[in-house]
Amino acid sequence: MGYNLNNMAKTSVSFSEYLRFFRRYLGGRWLWFAALGLILFTSIGLQIYNPQIMRTFLDRALAGDELSALQGLAFLFIGIAIAQQLLGVLATYLTELLGWAATNQVRLDLARYTLGLDMSFHTAHTPGEMIERIDGDVMALSNFFSQFILQVFGNILLIFGILIILLREDWRVSLSLGVFVALTLAILLRMVNIAVPSWEKERQASADMYGFIEERLNGTEDIRSNDGVPYVLQRFYRLTRDLMRITLAASFRWAIVMNTTWVLFTVGNAVGLLVSAYLYHTGVISLGSVFMIIHYTNMINWPLERLSQQFQDLQKAGASLIRIMGVQQMQGKIPGEGDFAAPKEHHLMPGPLAVDFKEVAFGYGDAETASRAEPVATPEQAAPELVLQAIDFSLTPGRILGLLGRTGSGKTTLTRLLFRLYDTTGGEIRLGGKPLRDLPIQELRRRVGMVTQNIQLFHATVRENLTFFDDSIPDDAVLQALRDLGLWDWYESLPNGLDTELESGGGGLSAGEAQLLAFTRIFLRDPGLIILDEATSRLDPATEHRIEQAVDKLVQNRTAIIVAHRLGTVQRADDILILDDGQVLESGERETLAADPQSRFYHLLQTGMEEVLA
């Protein structure tokens, strides 16, 4: 069990954690926040002042005051009401800006962080689940960033302002409503975390469902061809049923809070009505003052209702924040993996790179358990089954290694270790004479180029696909690479040249064209070591000659490791390494092994590699 995001022990978020998260993502936007606060407090002042105008209007009307004076009060009341609405629109606009700016930064940080975790994390979690983590969970924080603090402090300020105004009117009104407000807030604060666990489960159920959908959409052809549609629909039904059940449970807990709030509001209105009626009956206050007290009582209900809504949003934000913090607390096995900044100094010399494996061992279970925060419980858990054992070989700069072996022998695993998608369990790998673990991870990825059987192309321009969105690569270099690798005729057929949009996944391209584009990417980076992992295994014979010419260009003045499936590719190699069941079965110079009737390689050449290595 490695990166498990579904069994996090944390079930609540402390105030300091909320505050730290808030400062981190709004610390640079204090001017916006200050402007929003000014607008909110101005609006609160207008809300408190407007009932005073209505009280004066009613008292003067009952006293038979002149119509012109009453009209002035009416226009003032309407003007203030319109100003409140305009301020509300402006406040909404600013809160949306703040919310989107902060949540987009959270999304960026999460995406950057998860991309920096090693492959065991991404093996354990589907892209659909991570989309829901990075987008769905973060969306629940939008209101927390944009409104929560201002709304909470603003509404508390509004309540105290109303109580102070009522204290000037009569202390009994202020005291009775003050007791009501204190009891209501105490009850709401006691209920603030009641739904956090349920909302956290709802977010996880949503992530599970989207992960399932993403996986099944990618496998649509296999599902249909193997009559798996009924099974997929049954699983989808179960996931949606679980999501509905968990959402209903969370909504029920939220409904408890809301219904309690409405009951308390009814009690508050009754208190305000009874106290004002008593004071009016005893002649202490006027009829206009009665209206003002009832209006203020209703106004107290509004901020209390908003506070209850903010507490509900806080519950959802707390559930999402727990899940986000769970991702951020994951510790990658490979130090520096998530650091996308360019290293300040380079440790590898330019040109072809030497490769040395010294008694290298590796097990995938170790790659996952080493990434966990908790210690391994038993010795058995610390000893996973090794995929590679005692791998020992050297490749001098500029030579080409043909890597052979049956499916499952460890060929791809060996190349992943060299690219440092995982770290070794035992032994040491050196690149250019330097220990692989001592090299800055981004420098390593620039100096080692890898082309696999599955080519990933993006819905972007040809230029962006070839340069991998690196604006520093000039167009002249891109065009020259296309000429060198035999893609010039294809380029001339493009309607908009380098600005032509390619379809996601390489739609509209042949397998050979997609492979040549992948070669062009590597060619532009000019690495010192190239790994071709089954990069020509999916090509038809008609395209093979064109690809072989491109490979010749690609490996010139570079060290290369080629996972070979074709006899023609092996003939290019200077050295041969044959793996069997994770161990070196045979290694040596190609010509020497090919001339030795006792060698495994000689036997492969005689029987046909494609059949033996299948």
For residue 1, pLDDT over 50 is answered with no
Q: What is the pLDDT of residue 105?
A: 82
Q: What is the pLDDT of residue 315?
A: 67
DSSP at 371: T
Phi then psi for residue 444, to 5 deg, are -60, -45
C-alpha 23 chain-centroid distance? 20
Q: What is the CB-side half-sphere exposure of residue 206 using CA atoms within 13 A?
A: 18
Give the mean pLDDT of 62-76.
82
pLDDT band at 371 (very low <50, low <70, confident <90, very high): very low
Contact predicate 559/352, CB 8 Å: yes
- As a whole number of angstroms, the distance between CA 294 and CA 275 comes to 10
C-alpha 483 chain-centroid distance? 39
Q: Report pLDDT digits (tens) over 426-466.
A: 899 999 888 888 888 878 888 888 887 777 778 888 888 88
Q: How far is CA 422 from CA 16, 126, 175, 332, 408, in A?
A: 36, 18, 67, 10, 17
Between helix 15-26 and helix 67-116 the angle, nearest 10°, is: 90
Q: What is the pLDDT of residue 494?
A: 86
For residue 342, pLDDT over 50 is answered with no
- As a whole number of angstroms, the distance between CA 278 and CA 1 comes to 69
List the beta bridge partners of residue 405: 579
Q: What is the pLDDT of residue 341?
A: 47
C-alpha 256 chain-centroid distance? 32
DSSP at 145: I
- As a whole number of angstroms, the distance between CA 13 and CA 143 comes to 17
Q: What is the pLDDT of residue 550?
A: 80
Give the mean pLDDT of 592-601.
90
Residues 6+ apart with CB under 8 A from 341: 442
pLDDT band at 374 (very low <50, low <70, confident <90, very high): very low
CA angle 271, 273, 279 (to 5 degrees): 100
Q: What is the pLDDT of residue 31?
A: 81
For residue 575, pLDDT over 90 is answered with yes
Domains of the chain and any CATH numbers: 15-328 (1.20.1560.10), 355-612 (3.40.50.300)
pTM of structure: 0.61
More confident residue, 196 or 243: 243
Q: What is the pLDDT of residue 375?
A: 38
Q: Which amino acid is at 149?
A: I
Q: Report pLDDT digits (tens) over 289-312.
A: 887 888 888 777 777 777 766 776
- As a whole number of angstroms, the distance between CA 525 and CA 473 comes to 9
- As a whole number of angstroms, the distance between CA 581 and CA 408 comes to 7
For residue 377, pLDDT over 50 is answered with no
Q: Report pLDDT digits (tens) over 154-180.
A: 788 888 888 888 888 788 888 888 888
Q: What is the pLDDT of residue 367?
A: 46
Q: Which of 392, 415, 502, 405 is nearest to 456 (CA)?
A: 502
- As a whole number of angstroms, the distance between CA 432 and CA 556 comes to 17
pLDDT above 70 covers a percentage of the chain that reads 80
pLDDT band at 316 (very low <50, low <70, confident <90, very high): low
Most confident of 163-172, 182-191, 538-547: 163-172
More confident residue, 531 or 379: 531
Burial letters 167-196, b for 16+ CB under 10 A, else e: eebbeebbebbbebbeebbeebeebbebbb
- As a whole number of angstroms, the distance between CA 103 and CA 613 comes to 50
Tokens for 281?
């009956």
Q: Report pLDDT digits (tens) over 96-149.
A: 788 788 888 888 888 777 777 767 677 677 676 677 777 777 776 776 666 676
Q: What is the pLDDT of residue 381?
A: 45
More confident residue, 225 or 493: 493
Q: Show the 3-state SS of 384-401.
A: CCCCEEEEEEEECCCCEE
